[in-house]
Amino acid sequence: MTLRRLNPPLQLLRAFSTVVRFGGVSRAAESLHLTQSAVSKQVQELERWIGVVLFERSRKRLALTPAGERYEKAVRALLAQLEAATLELITSGGEGGALHLSALPTFAAKWLIPRLPAFQRVEPQVTLHFVPFVHGYDFQRPELDCSILFGDGHWPGARSHYLAGRDVALIAPRPGTSDVAIRSVDDLAHCTLLRHVTVPDAWLRWCEQHGVSQLDPLAGPQFDQFQTMIRAVTVGMGVALVPRCLVQDEIVAGTVHEPLADGGYRSELGYWFCYPEGRARLAPLVRFRDWLLPQTEDLGADPAD
């Protein structure tokens, strides 16, 4: 099988997709400003090109074959992506453009979004499009340029720049809203320890750094988002270890409490700006990266760069 056969001409793909969209050759021909005969020939040529029957034909009616249904979905997505890329290029005048980004929801809401108006002011020609985070680790996806991920900074095939998150705060309900008054680390033995599924050993690391042995660091309910865990602390469910960058607003506002001086700990994990090597020179990514990195929690700390 030759590479040529795997790349049908664009006009054949467009004719095929348009026939499916309009439900027949006649209306498709009107949309494409071609004759019905020309559109029919293009569809037939596409079938010959790929060697697969795409339509079942009976009494001049067309119905997609199962193979045709699968192929049309892929072709439709491909054409839409091409049109979107062309539109972005035209509207940006060749400069700036769109950047497709994914970010963990709590970090995006608490850390990134509040800073984005400043980015818009200095880089108005770059438009950010947020991709669902479920795709955030898959740098093979064509619609994903970069991600903000949580971890140790090492992802295969990606460059990583540290942003924030290593400074972890110990937070508790406001004084007077809990039955336990926390005056020393020993008082935590009477508290419920809330845990995050991504960092199940956080309390173990905390105990090691503070020399505490009387706690069970693996006990307590788990949560899948830091924002949910922060809310659980505010209503008195227990105490938690949360990256300070996510909870600083609540600490300042007094909705949660830091009961101990130097009660947090330094984690090896944090939030990182990541992108595949192949997109390192993408113009909007470069502009966003050059603006973003000076916002970091620890300026100059970028061991994975």
Residue 300 banded pLDDT, cuts 50, 70, 90:
very low
Q: What is the per-residue pLDDT across 256-278, written as a single tens digit (0 to 9) for each?
A: 999 988 888 999 999 999 998 88
Cα 114 from chain centre:
17
The set of long-range contacts for 295-302, using a CB threshold of 8 Å and a minimum separation of 24, is 295/115, 295/163, 296/161, 296/162, 296/163, 296/164, 297/162, 297/163, 297/164, 297/165, 297/166, 297/167, 297/245, 297/270, 298/162, 298/166, 301/162, 302/161, 302/162
Boundaries of CATH 3.40.190.10 in the chain?
Answer: 95-165+269-295, 167-266
The pLDDT of residue 93? 53
Flag whether the pTM goes above 0.75: no
Q: What is the per-residue pLDDT across 207-222, written as a single tens digit (0 to 9) for each?
A: 999 988 888 888 889 9
Q: What is the per-residue pLDDT across 156-210, written as a single tens digit (0 to 9) for each?
A: 888 999 999 999 999 999 987 777 788 888 888 889 999 999 999 999 999 999 9
Fold of 4-91: Arc Repressor Mutant, subunit A (1.10.10)
Nearest-Å Rg of the Cα atoms of the chain is: 27
Fold of 95-165+269-295: D-Maltodextrin-Binding Protein; domain 2 (3.40.190)
The pLDDT of residue 299? 44
Residue 4 banded pLDDT, cuts 50, 70, 90:
low
Boundaries of CATH 1.10.10.10 in the chain?
Answer: 4-91
Query: At residue 88, what is the residue type?
Result: E
The CATH number that domain 167-266 falls under is 3.40.190.10
- pLDDT greater at residue 89 or residue 291: 291
**Quick check: 135 pLDDT over 90?**
no
Compute the mean pLDDT over every residue in the chain, rounded to the nearest whole number: 87
Q: Are 130 and 112 in contact (CB under 8 A)?
A: no
The pLDDT of residue 252? 95
**Quick check: 282 pLDDT over 80?**
yes
Residue 301 banded pLDDT, cuts 50, 70, 90:
very low
